[in-house]
Structure 1
Amino acid sequence: MSDTDRPHAPSAPETPRPLAEPGLATRHRERRRLPRHVVVALPLALTGLISLLLSGNALRPFEIVTTIEARMASKSDYFRDPEVRRLLLKHGLRVDIHRLGSRGIATQSLRGMDVVFPSGQPAAKLILDRQERSVRSVRPFVSPLVLGTFRDYAETLVRAGAASPQPAPGGGRTLYYDLDMEKFTRLLDGRDDDGRDDDGRDTADQDGDGTLERIDTWNGIGFDENGTHSNSGRVLVRTSNVCESNAAGTYLSILAFVKNDGSTPGAGQTDRKKAAQQALDVARRIKPLIDVQGMWADEQAESYLSALGESIAPISLIYEHQYLAHQIDYERAHHSQDASRVLLYPTPYALTEPQLISLSGKGDRLVDLIERDPELRRRAIELGFRVRSSGEDGTSGQLNSYLGDHGIQVPTPNRDQTKVYEPELDVLQEIINYVGNCPPPVLDAP
């Protein structure tokens, strides 16, 4: 029997082999590095974040900013200042400015406005008289009305006997002159003390229409004496529109005070018809002093402080703070004073008091902030304003200290402190309307 035919014994069952535990293969990847520009910027980002946290501004992008619609005149310079805008944003406020002259604000529609900021009390009173509810308001600072000119013109007025220089520290060139308005108006109207012009001709207004025969020229009073320059143009003051501008209206008050023998037209007059007649008589006398400039100009400070300022107008009507703000900026940029531009401080003088008036709940927030925030008051001083304090007319000490600390000559008060008080509103309106041929006001419909 072959082996293939023999029966096989059953074999023992095979024991299953244990399965080997599968191994976990890992792949070693290189760790991604941050891009180099991210590494460089990271410390700056962290520094910025820390600054925001410390200043309390980390959540500023998520806060609601309230926009306040405002109509303002020249004092919009304050609210346009970048630092003031930053301080207001810190309190969640943004002011959208609609620029218009003070009297234009007072005599036109106020619909849609939250605040208005006329530059003086006559316009403010017109606005307040139109309100049907009690409103919040604040007068945060004051600014004297001044005449901006250039040194050669100021020195010509000194030689003509109408101006005198204020003393400068160390005997240097002064920035400020006192202007005798009574003598200056004689240069404007061409008359001498006895009512005759410089050539001895009678310049009395025979027709009563306010027309004068001649006006003094700059060369006529000695501007060309040194032979280096000449100007045969009239001696005049360039103003903005008397129908719209507080500055121009205040200037009219000064002229009216001088031409009314040193008294306010209509003051103490109980008969309103007689007061109006007195206003009209004075207006006829001062209208020629304004008309000589021709077409009304816009806000004067920008033109006066521009590179072409001297060619635009020898004398411009501005506010003191506008000139001082220019000197502060000029000293910061050039480390010296702008000695070519100087100020004429009129005597008698007029002090303007801009008034921020709220017309809505949002406006109340701005008025409250301007009234109580010390940072905003400090910034006003840095912009050349005399900030009101404790009910006084103005705080000059803080402003003078700031000017002195920045190498800018401090103006000194004239010994003659005669102040012009504006006429009562109806009298002033009579003068302005006559001089400016002003259109009727456009008020809100009832």
Structure 2
Amino acid sequence: MAVDTVREEQAMRRLTDSLLEDYSETHSAEEIHGVLAAVRKRFEGHPVREFVPILVERIVHRELAPPAQGSVIEEAAAAVEQSNAVSRADRRRAARAGFAINRRTVSLAGAVVVVAVAVVAVALVARQPDPAPAAGPVVPALTVVRGVVGSEKMSFFEDSRVIDALAKHGLKVSAEPAGSRQIATSVDLGKYDFAFPSSSPAAERIQRARNINTKYTPFSSPMAIATFQPIADLLTAARVLQPGPVPTFDVARYLELVNTNTEWAHLPGNTVYPVRKNILVSTTDPRTSNSAAMYAAIASFVANDRAVVQGDPAEQAVLPTLQRLFAGQGYTENSTQGPFQEYLAAGMGPSPLVLIYEAQFVEAAAQGKIQPGMVLTYPSPTVLSRHTLVPLGGSGDQLGRLLSSDPELQRLAAEHGFRTGDAAQFAKVTAEHRVPVQTDLIDVVDTPTYDTLEHLLDAVAKSYN
């Protein structure tokens, strides 16, 4: 990045902080950011950048709090006043000339005056109702789309490239994170334009409660288990992990160890992790989080003789296993972001096995956060978590359509580890960052109906008490 560009970005960050402080009582942060972005865009393509922050500041101040009087000459003089390299005599000559640029050789100070005045003239032309071609198109104010999303998607919506791609379509997303089951059951959705939980059962609950038929599934991610090579070696010896280019985690064998309260220290030859605690996969809280609900779907399918649980007898039969899987963990967090960050930062000590979305591991690899010895495995069977957007208003519907169809947004979703309708994009990301993933997901099972899953999770929740 050029030095001038670095200085400009630093100045713009300071300006943003100042504007947010000055106008916090009269304008929302979204409105201030929108005006600032629109004004700055008027100066795109102009090679001289020294005075851009100054000019942007003055125009934004005027648009947020219009002064009673003002003129082109005053604005130019105020901008030039910021530069110590320009003499007062040169500024008076520029003002008297009405911005005409003399082609004779000028001093360095005079040249700076001419540049500053020319930039002001361009900015003023860009503000006219019918702008000249050189000024570029007038940027419309962005429509703010408010939504509540599963935490694993926050980095996607906070990506500056995603923000810019949405802005091209006139949208600015204001997203708040929450556990997917929270979104479906306890979050007040009345103040949002869309809800974006991480599974179709949670979305179904929202649709049913609000009588909404429309939904969008722009991307998906299978459930996976993150572990470490020493743990993988132990579980391979215990016949839980099946080795291969992409290791698989045998859920049936794992449940055998869980149901007999097998501890890590009980595993033969275990010298790398001889801990006196039960072998359990760390998950999120099943009372709030979608990933824990997906884990319950996998475990209940296996415990029910590899059949989707349906009906009260089947529910009662699998409940003891589910309660042991969850209650034995102790404290659990509301969303997958917490346990996965602990996995990345703390190593295998606290949580040698962590249930995650595949997308989290792929995204972390793309960001250089996966260290040697970190291993991605897939439960066998697994479930595909379909991230489903439910529009609650008109702008939410537009966002759902864009995320599902816009090639640029689909490409960026793949870079954040999600599988989209374009399998080639996901394959390109995983190949580039050398992430071994299951290309063809074969051993994938369906989740129970929303009502059955709720019965199971409610029963598990009671075991916490």
Task: Give 1:171's aligned residue.
Answer: none
Contact 1:179 1:345 in 2 (8 A): yes
Task: Give 1:258's aligned residue.
Answer: 302
Match for residue 447 of structure 2 among 422, 431, 435? 422
Q: Which amino acid in the other structure matches residue 151 of structure 1? A: Q
- Displacement of 1:83 in angstroms is 1.5
Match for residue 224 of structure 2 among 122, 146, 157? 146
Is 1:402 aligned with 2:448?
Answer: no
| Cα deviation 1:282-304 (Å, max 9, x = unaligned) | 11332112111012223234443
Task: Give 1:84's aligned residue.
Answer: 162
- Displacement of 1:412 in angstroms is 3.5
| Cα deviation 1:72-94 (Å, max 9, x = unaligned) | 11333322222211211222211
Task: Give 2:357's aligned residue.
Answer: 319
Task: Give 2:252's aligned residue.
Answer: 182
Match for residue 279 of structure 1 among 315, 330, 333? 315
Contact 2:430 2:437 in 1 (8 A): no
- 1: CA distance, partners of 2:287 / 2:161: 32
Contact 2:202 2:450 in 1 (8 A): no
Distance 1:59 1:348, change over 3 A: same
Contact 1:149 1:343 in 2 (8 A): yes
Match for residue 296 of structure 1 among 332, 340, 343? 332
Contact 1:279 1:428 in 2 (8 A): no
Match for residue 347 of structure 1 among 370, 375, 380? 380
- 1: CA distance, partners of 2:404 / 2:270: 50
Distance 1:36 1:340, change over 3 A: farther
Structure having the larger proportion of residues in helix:
2
Is 1:248 aligned with 2:273?
Answer: no
Distance 1:407 1:79, change over 3 A: closer
Q: Which amino acid in the other structure matches residue 419 of structure 1? A: V
- The structure, 1 or 2, with the larger RCO (C-alpha pairs under 8 Å, 6+ apart) is 1
Contact 2:225 2:354 in 1 (8 A): yes
Task: Give 2:198's aligned residue.
Answer: 119
Where 1:75 maps in the other structure, the secondary structure is helix
- 2: CA distance, partners of 1:293 / 1:39: 69
Q: Which amino acid in the other structure matches residue 410 of structure 1? A: P
Is 1:307 aligned with 2:345?
Answer: yes
Contact 1:350 1:421 in 2 (8 A): yes
Where 1:437 maps in the other structure, the secondary structure is helix
Where 2:192 maps in the other structure, the secondary structure is coil
| Cα deviation 1:352-372 (Å, max 9, x = unaligned) | 111111111121221222122
- Displacement of 1:39 in angstroms is 8.5
Distance 1:77 1:222, change over 3 A: farther
Contact 2:327 2:463 in 1 (8 A): no
- 2: CA distance, partners of 1:58 / 1:437: 62
Q: Which amino acid in the other structure matches residue 281 of structure 1? A: A
Contact 1:76 1:99 in 2 (8 A): yes
Where 1:353 maps in the other structure, the secondary structure is strand
- 2: CA distance, partners of 1:84 / 1:309: 31
- Displacement of 1:58 in angstroms is 5.0
Where 1:434 maps in the other structure, the secondary structure is helix
Contact 1:358 1:364 in 2 (8 A): yes
Q: Which amino acid in the other structure matches residue 346 of structure 2? A: L
Q: Which amino acid in the other structure matches residue 178 of structure 1? A: T
Distance 1:41 1:290, change over 3 A: farther
Contact 1:300 1:318 in 2 (8 A): yes
Distance 1:222 1:41, change over 3 A: farther
Moved more, 299-308 or 362-371: 299-308
Task: Give 2:265's aligned residue.
Answer: 219
Pairs within 5 Å for 1:191-210: none
Contact 2:220 2:419 in 1 (8 A): yes
Q: Which amino acid in the other structure matches residue 396 of structure 2? A: G
Match for residue 69 of structure 1 among 117, 141, 146? 146
Larger radius of gyration: 1
- 2: CA distance, partners of 1:328 / 1:40: 46
Where 2:222 maps in the other structure, the secondary structure is strand
- 2: CA distance, partners of 1:367 / 1:126: 18
- 1: CA distance, partners of 2:204 / 2:273: 46
| Cα deviation 1:17-52 (Å, max 9, x = unaligned) | xxxxxxxxxxxx99874449949998xx89x99xx9
Distance 1:102 1:409, change over 3 A: closer
Count of residues paired in the alignment: 350
Percentage of pairs with the same residue:
28
Distance 1:407 1:241, change over 3 A: closer
Task: Give 2:368's aligned residue.
Answer: 330
- 2: CA distance, partners of 1:144 / 1:99: 20
- Displacement of 1:419 in angstroms is 2.4
- 2: CA distance, partners of 1:423 / 1:163: 26
- Displacement of 1:329 in angstroms is 1.2
| Cα deviation 1:258-288 (Å, max 9, x = unaligned) | 111111111xxxxxxxx12321331133211
Q: Is there any run of 5+ residues in structure 1 with no aligned partner, and where?
A: 1-28, 168-175, 191-214, 267-274, 332-336, 390-394, 440-446
Distance 1:424 1:304, change over 3 A: closer
Where 1:247 maps in the other structure, the secondary structure is helix
TM-score, with structure 1 as normaliser: 0.71
- 2: CA distance, partners of 1:68 / 1:414: 35
- Could you list the runs of 4 or more consecutive aligned residues of structure 1 that deviate by over 6 angstroms after TM superposition? 29-32, 39-42
TM-score, with structure 2 as normaliser: 0.68
Task: Give 2:96's aligned residue.
Answer: none
- 1: CA distance, partners of 2:135 / 2:171: 14
